[in-house]
Amino acid sequence: MAAENYQADIHNSDYEAEYRAKKLDARGSINIDGRKLESLNGLWNFAPDLYDSCRRARWWSACQGAEKKAPGMNKPESSAETRMALSCKPVLGSPPEDWDFEAWETMPVPSCWNMERPEYLYFEATGIYTRTFHYHSQKKDERAFLFFEGASYTASVFLNGEYLGSHWGASTPFCVEITGSVQEFNRIIVTVDARRSPVRIPMDNTDWFNYGGLYRNVCLLRTGPSFIKDWFIRLVNGVEIRADISIEGDAAGLELEIPELNIREKLPVLDGKASLTLKTSPRLWSPENPKLYDFTLNLAESNGEDGAGGRIEDRIGFREICTRGEEIFLNGKKIFLKGICVHEDHFKLGKTTSEDIIRETIRDLRELKGNYLRLAHYPHDRRFSRIASEEGVLLWEEVPVYWAVAFDNPETREDAENQLAELVIRDRNQAAVIIWSVGNENADTDSRLTFMSGLAEKARSLDDSRLISAACLINHEKLMIQDRLGENLDIIGINEYYGWYDPDFEKLPKILNNSKPGKPVVICEFGAGARLGQRGTVDDLFTEDRQKRIYEQQTETFKTCAYIAGTSPWILYDFRCPRRLNRYQEGFNRKGLIDADRKSRKPAFYVMREFYEKMQEP
């Protein structure tokens, strides 16, 4: 039904109810590793939709696929006719429409609209993306899915005039089956609403830039009637490989093969599940030796077909991470996490990233003599953990339960738990990931304790092989590490800025001496701001001299504390941040050891490098 342009919606005060009713979430998660994907990236038509009119006035409902619109469209007409039919040109007798998909500007997918046109830098409303695409099924009973790797923040997906569902969360993947809706000629519309809100995850006040858009890949995934949905393969008890696989559709059996370990096991499938526990002795993955094994998963029904979800080919690393007392052990050997924090923020691309940028970040970590990264404060691009697993970099991954979250709001908790599940399902086969973090610097209340201990439990239920942490609290009156949440964590993360936000540096050694955490502590943030090239005395704020002095004091103090099992200073690169508005910051947080240009090192970089370089192996 064509939208009753502005007749129906101007009195509809709760137009969003329709969209809230259909959630795309972790229940539908598909692991896309090891599959053939068809990219829908490229130039989409785009319009800024400040009043959310496409969803409010249901513009999307007017755009049927070509067959429904013009019977003559069944053969591949000239693109002009196809475009005309799909562009929903106003038909005589219908009301004048306010959309004009084919006439709109184009926007690259993936990209952050903030970085594509100057007038969109601070645009925090809804963007409408649309394009057409052809689809021809390749196999009998083929199933088809649209897969989105990241849309910030709320994405609503429409295909050929049908509302398919909405996803909440800026940094985790989601997908939707289109088998029943896809035609030969299709129009897809995606509205992406970047508005911040006090009741979502993250809430509306953060210390990073709110980029918007379809900023990660969009692709089409084809499967057979039955397919492998997701899997979790890991080392348990040091000598056993455990595999848990989820299968969609009917399937009698599944085969797991790891040729280099002479493993070829047939697994029965019961109620869509298959699992295996097998004694073996793989070469263990570590930063020094990031050994990955080729493996395949084969549905018996798939007769080895490639890419349709009946056969998965990927690589996996086996390692074990655990804690004992106040120490962290990797494969039974005590380790110190020599790290640094990074945001997903690029001076040209915003939150959109690339393999080159990820590898450049790892090169800079290597120059710092580090082995570990805290991917703050939200799930980074899926390629990061895959490249880190190849390169031997340890990772802390985190959901953006950041600062003053609405901990007593059930929908907020549902949002947080869903984003955590989408992250864990996406990355739990990546050896590089050793820590799931359930949040950062949250005031201690009963509802926060319930909310975040619930997240810790959820993470463990999805993944029994990793450590759980969060950036916890210091009791600044008693000068000690004290946070009720700590009882639910394996590692206590601590953000502290002594020498910067609190100029009395002497509090730090007192706090460390007063505290008896009983489990490993990672100083997951410390540091100071400095504008590149700003010189002065060690007492002058925002000078490289003050930043360097604080790093010297911090690293000297860490050496005296046995229960510090890792450090990740804040932060590797200066990053865009609308709250940072003094003459030294100019819209950037300047705590980076490297300028936002991702090239120019500040003197404190070399203090941190020396600390890691001279550290005795634990």
Interacting residues toward ligand GCU by CB under 6 A: 207, 377, 440-441, 495, 525, 570, 589, 591
Say if residue 153 is preceded by a cis peptide, omega within 30 of 0. Answer: yes
- Cβ nearer to ligand GCU, comparing 301 with 595: 595
- Provide the minimum distance between the beta carbon of 525 and ligand GCU in the complex, in angstroms, as a whole number: 5
In the bound complex, what is the minimum distance in angstroms from residue 570's beta carbon to ligand GCU?
A: 5
User: What residues form DSSP beta bridges with 174?
Assistant: 148
Environment class of 35 (CB within 10 Å of its CB; exposed 0-12, middle 13-18, buried 19+): buried
The nearer residue to ligand GCU, 310 or 592, going by C-beta atoms, is 592
Minimum Å distance from CB 389 to ligand GCU? 26
| Closer residue to ligand GCU (CB): 131 or 377 | 377
126 vs 495 by CB, closer to ligand GCU:
495
CB of 352 to ligand GCU, least distance (A): 20
Q: How many CA atoms lie within 13 A of 79 on its CB side?
A: 4
Instruction: Output the smallest distance, CB 571 to ligand GCU, in A.
Output: 7
Contacts of 168 (CB under 8 A, 6+ apart): 23, 25, 153, 154, 200, 415, 418
CB burial of 95-121 (b: ≥16 within 10 Å; e: otherwise) equals eebebebbebeebbbbbbbbbbeeebb
Helix (H), strand (E) at residue 46: strand 42-49
- CB-nearer residue toward ligand GCU: 120 or 209: 209
**Which residue's C-beta sits nearest to ligand GCU?**
207
Distance of closest approach, residue 206 Cβ to ligand GCU, in angstroms: 7
Query: 167 or 377, CB closer to ligand GCU?
Result: 377
Compare residues 336 and 500 and give the one whose CB is closer to ligand GCU.
500
Smallest gap, in angstroms, from Cβ of residue 579 to ligand GCU? Answer: 9
- Nearer to ligand GCU by Cβ, of 429 and 495: the residue is 495
CA of 349: how far to CAs of 42, 127, 307, 345, 362, in Å? 15, 17, 31, 7, 18
Nearer to ligand GCU, 58 or 377 (CB): 377
Alpha helices (runs of H) in 221-354, residue ranges in sequence order: none
Cβ neighbours, 10 Å, residue 267 = 18
Kindly state the smallest distance separating residue 575's Cβ from ligand GCU, in Å: 8
Between 190 and 471, name the residue whose CB sits nearer to ligand GCU: 471
Residue from 175, 579, 168, 585 nearest 400 by CA: 168
- Please, which residue, 146 or 474, has the CB nearer to ligand GCU? 474
Residue 357 to residue 562: CA distance in whole angstroms: 35
Query: Both tokens of residue 207?
Result: 């210390």
CB of residue 501 to ligand GCU, shortest distance in Å: 7
Contact between 229 and 247 (Cβ < 8 Å): yes
Residue at 472: amino acid letter: C
Element holding 612 (H helix, E strand):
helix 603-613
Angle at 533 between CA 531 and CA 538, to 5 degrees: 75
Cβ-based nearer residue to ligand GCU, 226 or 495: 495
Rg (CA), the chain: 26
DSSP letter assigned to residue 617: P
Q: How far is the CB of 588 from ligand GCU (least distance, A)?
A: 11
Distance CA 610, CA 614 (A): 6
Closest CA to 567 of 593, 543, 537: 593
Instruction: Supply the minimum distance, in Å, between the C-beta of residue 153 and ligand GCU.
Output: 18
State which residue, 161 or 350, has the beta carbon closest to ligand GCU: 350
Q: Position of tokens 């100029």?
A: 503
Query: CA-CA distance, 304 to 311, in Å (whole number)?
Result: 6
Minimum CB separation of residue 519 from ligand GCU in Å reads 21
Strand 154-159 to 162-168 pairing? antiparallel
Instruction: Spell out the long-range contacts of 114-119 with Cβ–Cβ below 8 A and sequence spacing 24 or more.
Output: 114/209, 114/211, 114/212, 114/213, 114/350, 115/211, 115/348, 115/349, 115/350, 115/352
Of residues 85 and 521, the one with the C-beta less far from ligand GCU: 521
State the Cα–Cα distance between residues 349 and 351, nearest whole angstrom.
6
- Nearest approach, Cβ of 345 to ligand GCU (angstroms)? 11
Q: What is the dihedral of CA 608, 609, 612, 615, to 10 degrees?
A: -100
The two structure tokens encoding residue 413: 């908790």
Question: What is the DSSP-derived secondary structure letter of residue 121?
Answer: T
Q: What residues pair up with 474 in beta bridges, in sequence order?
A: 481
* Type and span of the H or E element at 555: helix 544-558
Beta carbon nearer to ligand GCU, 159 or 572:
572
Minimum CB separation of residue 416 from ligand GCU in Å reads 17
Task: Name the minimum Å distance from CB 407 to ligand GCU.
Answer: 17
